[in-house]
Each structure stands twice: as C-alpha cells, then as structure tokens.
Chains A and B, each alone.
Chain A
Amino acid sequence: MDQHEYFGDEIDSSDSSRRSFLKQSSALAALVLTPPAAVAAVNQGLHEKVAAAFEQLPLQVNINGTVRQVSIEPRVTLLDLLREQLHLTGTKKGCDHGQCGACTVHVDRARVNACLTLAMTTEGCTVTTIEGLTDGDRDRSGEPAASPATARLHPMQEAFIKHDGFQCGYCTPGQIMSAVACIREGHANSPDEIREYMSGNICRCGAYANIVDAIMDVKKGGARV
C-alpha cells in the first residue's frame, strides 16, 4: 500500500517509515531550495501536520443496504458523511453535540447520535437512516409505486402522520428512528416508559404528547418494526 498500513482490521493513518521519509525528504529539499525559516518549520514537524490535515482514509460501510466505499478525513462524523458526501439529508443536524437527537440513526440496529460518531468507527457496520427505514420505491402491496404519493411508509411513519406527531418536522426523522428502536428494545410498554426512553429526542414544537400516542399505537398494533 502506498499510503496506509493494513493489519486485518487495523489501520494507521500514517506509518512511521512514511513519516520519517517525509521529514527527511522535505528537510533535504528544503535545505537546497528554501530559506532557513522554512527549514526550521520542517524540522519542527509542521510539514507533517499540514500533510495530516488533508490525509484521507478508506472506509467501507453498508448504508441502507448499499455498500459504500468512501475516502474521508478521520475527523468526519457519520452525520457529515451522510449529509455532505452521500447527500442523505433526511438525517438532521440539530445541536451537533449529542443533546437533541435530531441526528439519530441505527448502527448495527442500535440507535446512536450520528453527530458524535466518527464515520471511521463504522467500518464494516450497517447503518440505517430514515431514507432506508422502508423500501419507498414500492407501494403498500409490495408492487412498484406509481408515484411518491402511493409509496409505502414504515408503520411508525404512518403513525406519526395519523397522530400529528410533529409540527415543523425538523426533529421528526430522529424521533422516528429513535421510536422504532424504542419498540425493538422492548422499552415502549407504557407512556411513562416511552417518555423516559425517548428523552434523548428533543422537540422544540412540543409534539411530545402526539409522539407518545404514535409510538403506543404502533406498539399496540403489533406491526413488525
């Protein structure tokens, strides 16, 4: 490999031989071509820092049933990968600090805050976003949908519409992803339990009562989520 060392699942953004080569070669070049200040900068490792800033690493992750191979900086969060690079903008950026739940997605079926998840840590994982919650290309009978209006929704999406579980809608994708996980985890047995286990999803419009109704409805209906 030219840039990265691989040890099975292990990865290293720059191995020591490459780093010392960089240092050496730049120092040599610098001696010939550049003034003493630049030589000092290289000797202090600045060159290496600049190189690190643009370094991209390979990532393979299954998103909504499709295996994606991307090249990203290590500092990219799963939320930014989804929205900025893969253009899956259904997942919302609210606080970006793990306090509001708008970015809730499933990683290996567990609900997590995508804003606090470095994308690199999802190597080999399966990610589901609101776009992948159900096969929206088909209608309720499983036939290819004639139009978006007849496309089938997930039972939780249907329930949010039925119970008016939103007003502005910005928190809704996160609420729905969280609600689906809440039922799967077995933590949706009463309104009190739902309120506790949905407390990581904030709704500034205050649609909480209707959100709880929607989740209770799906839970009682026994639909497979």
Chain B
Amino acid sequence: MNPFQFTRVTTPKAAITAITKESGTYFLAGGTNLIDLMKREVVIPERLVDINKLPLATIDKTATGLRIGAMAKNSAVADNELVKKHFPLLSQALNAGASAQLRNMATVGGNMMQRTRCAYFYDTSMPCNKRSPVQAGPDKGQANGPTGCGALGGMNRMHAIFGASTNCIAVHPSDMCIALVVLDATVNVSGPKGDRTIPFSEFHRLPGDVPQKDNTLQPGELIMSVDLPTNRFADHSHYLKVRDRASYAFALVSVGVGLEMNGKTIRDARLAMGGVAHKPWRLTAAEEFLNGKPATEANFKQAATLAMQGAKGYGENDFKLTLAPNSIIDALKTATKTA
C-alpha cells in the first residue's frame, strides 16, 4: 500500500475542514472497500481522515420515522429492534450483503459510498473510464482522450442492463441501498457550504459522460445520517437476492419490494432492483401499474414486463434480461404471500 498522511477527527466540522484542505484526501469509515482499493492501487490517497470516532452511530426514533447515523455499523442496523419491526426490508437487505465480519466493520455512509466491483475497475492493467477517466499520454501532461471501457465487449456477466453509457456499464454493488430507495429514504449531508438533504433516489447517478462520479455529493460533503419515513410496507416487503453462491457474493440481480396492501389489493407499491444499473434502479412504471390492482400473478407478470422496457444486454449478461423479470415476479409473490 502506498504511504499516506493520517488525520483522526472527533467532530464533523473538523472532518469537513480536513477533507476540504487538500486534494487527494479521503474519509476513512469502516474501510472494507477503501483499504482494499488502496492495496490494489485503484485509489491512492494522499491523506486519510479517520472519521470512526465521530458521534454519528446512533439509531433514533423521530417524529416522522427513524434516523440512522452515517457511522452506524451495518450489523447494528440489521439487528436493531426498531429497524426489524418497522423496516424489515432494510434488515433483510443488509443481512444479504457481505459477511458477518464485514457487516461489523462497514457503516451506513460507507456502504453508500462503495465503488463498483467491476473487474476492469479493479485491475489497473485494464482500461476503465471510471478508474482513469483520461488516459495518460507518452508525455505525462498530455491526454490521449478517454481510456475506454474494458467491460463493454469484454467479460460483462455482472454488468448493467439499464442506464449504462458507452463509457461505463458497471453496476452499483450495494444491497442496503436497494432497500433504502424502496423505503423513500433521504440523506442528510453536511459540507463546507452548509447542510442539505438529498432524496435517496438522487444520491447515486448514472455514468453518462462522467463515469468516475458515482454520486451527487459535492466536494467536502460528509454523510451525517439517513432518514426513513414511517410507512405501511412492513407486513408486505421482501428482498430477493440472486447470486452465484448461497451467501457472501454480490447480486447478479436483486429485487426490493415494499407494498401497502388493502386486503388483496395493492394500495401503494415500491420496487427497485440491484445488480442491473449504476444506481439502485427504481421501477416506477411497474409501481404505477400495480397501484390499485389485485395481487395476482398476471398483474405481476405485466408489471415485470413494464419494468424491463429499455433493458439491454451486452453479451455475457444477456441472461439478466430473463432473470430480472422472473425475479420481480418471484419477489412480488413472496411479499404478497401468494407464492
């Protein structure tokens, strides 16, 4: 690992000051992704600002729902009684991710900030627009234009079928974030220009022409907490994760479902998919179709068809075009207990 400077802070204000001071400075939370990226020299920070001592690990009931501190460990959130009772989807999604050890280290904020697991992003000998947006020329000052995307036309079994660009077909790897987008979460951030709130669905972004940017955070901003509004999804929610082995693997496709039911009729639906796009992929067309409809397999199939509009395979990941709609139907059946 390359050497770097190290600063430990105890207040959010000091953290924001420290990261704003010099370029090449990164926050260090659980480190489960960042330290790995540093060992592989995918990320080479000049300085780490250790934010593990910040008092941001609480989980509190609020007037409108629940506030989860950005430094709360994934395991602490998954095992929290309020989360299990009112937002079981979040608990289920968290427990579907990583291993028990990693969940003890990883934080809510860090989980949101984790980078793609695209093999081309991790392999510094391979082209990647996300890791190296501009190719270094023979003379270091000169650029030779974009580096290119190795996965496009390469080994892309794990890659996106929605919202990709010619610059990047990587997917966002988080399970937790799929649950948070289904649960209409909002993200509270603090930065050099003050505090602001970001709707969860707008926190991550599509690659477009700037694949190096995973999210809409501004320079120097620190995630403080995530707010979950009270909902009526707890009795009819499900997180389905389809992966290459039974546990401890990233999703090929995952589906998060939250339904408010009125008898056998769906009153309000929330659906999102993981493993299919550069951000948690909310299925708004399918949600609108399901609202007010009875929970039948025929309606689930129709919703899945709507959800798949615009999907595109890149060769090795063509199977996701079949796996994804089947997973949507399966998750809806489980959530409505009609399986």
Give chain A's interface residues, CB within 8 Å of chain B. Answer: 7-14, 52-55, 57, 73-75, 77, 96-98, 101, 104, 110-113, 116-118, 120-121, 123, 178, 181-182, 185, 187, 195-201
Contact of A182 with B4 in the complex, beta carbons under 8 Å: no
Distance in angstroms between the alpha carbons of A13 and B105 in the assembled complex: 24
Distance in angstroms between the alpha carbons of A77 and B32 in the assembled complex: 12
Distance in angstroms between the alpha carbons of A157 and B14 in the assembled complex: 45
Contact of A113 with B101 in the complex, beta carbons under 8 Å: yes
Given A14-B5, A121-B52, A101-B28 contact (CB < 8 Å): no
Contacts of A118 in B (CB 8 A): 28, 31, 35, 48, 50
CB nearest to A48 among chain B residues: B5
Indicate whether B153 reaches chain A with its CB closer than 8 angstroms. Answer: no
Contacts of B52 in A (CB 8 A): 121
Contacts of B36 in A (CB 8 A): 97-98, 116
What does the 1/0 interface line of B254-269 toward A look like (CB < 8 Å)? Answer: 0000000000000000
CB nearest to B38 among chain A residues: A75
**Complex interface residues of chain B between 193 and 221 (CB less than 8 A to chain A):** none
Contacts of A196 in B (CB 8 A): 246-247
| Interface SS majority for chain A | mixed
CB nearest to A96 among chain B residues: B39
CB nearest to A116 among chain B residues: B35
Distance in angstroms between the alpha carbons of A118 and B50 in the assembled complex: 10
Partner of A101, one of B8, B10, B14, B101: B101
Contact of A121 with B50 in the complex, beta carbons under 8 Å: yes
Indicate whether B2 reaches chain A with its CB closer than 8 angstroms. Answer: yes
Indicate whether B189 reaches chain A with its CB closer than 8 angstroms. Answer: no
Contact of B8 with A200 in the complex, beta carbons under 8 Å: no
Distance in angstroms between the alpha carbons of A29 and B285 in the assembled complex: 69
Q: For the A-B complex with A75-B3, A110-B75, A116-B102 known, give 7 more contacts whose Cβ atoms are closer than 8 Å.
A: A10-B9, A57-B6, A74-B3, A75-B4, A113-B102, A178-B101, A196-B246
Contacts of B102 in A (CB 8 A): 98, 113, 116, 200
Contacts of A123 in B (CB 8 A): 8
Indicate whether B53 reaches chain A with its CB closer than 8 angstroms. Answer: yes
Give chain B's interface residues, CB within 8 Å of chain A. Answer: 1-10, 14, 28, 31-32, 35-36, 38-40, 47-48, 50, 52-53, 73, 75, 79, 98-102, 104-105, 246-248
Contact of A77 with B4 in the complex, beta carbons under 8 Å: no
25 inter-chain pairs at a CB distance below 8 angstroms, sorted by A residue, are A9-B8, A10-B8, A10-B9, A11-B7, A13-B5, A13-B47, A55-B3, A55-B5, A74-B5, A98-B101, A101-B99, A111-B104, A112-B104, A113-B102, A116-B31, A116-B105, A117-B31, A117-B35, A118-B28, A123-B8, A178-B100, A185-B100, A197-B100, A199-B100, A200-B101
CB nearest to B7 among chain A residues: A12
CB distance from A115 to the nearest CB of B (A): 8
Distance in angstroms between the alpha carbons of A14 and B47 in the assembled complex: 10
Contact of B98 with A116 in the complex, beta carbons under 8 Å: no
Contact of A97 with B39 in the complex, beta carbons under 8 Å: yes
Contacts of A104 in B (CB 8 A): 101
Contact of B99 with A199 in the complex, beta carbons under 8 Å: yes
Distance in angstroms between the alpha carbons of A198 and B101 in the assembled complex: 9
Contacts of B6 in A (CB 8 A): 11-13, 57, 74, 120
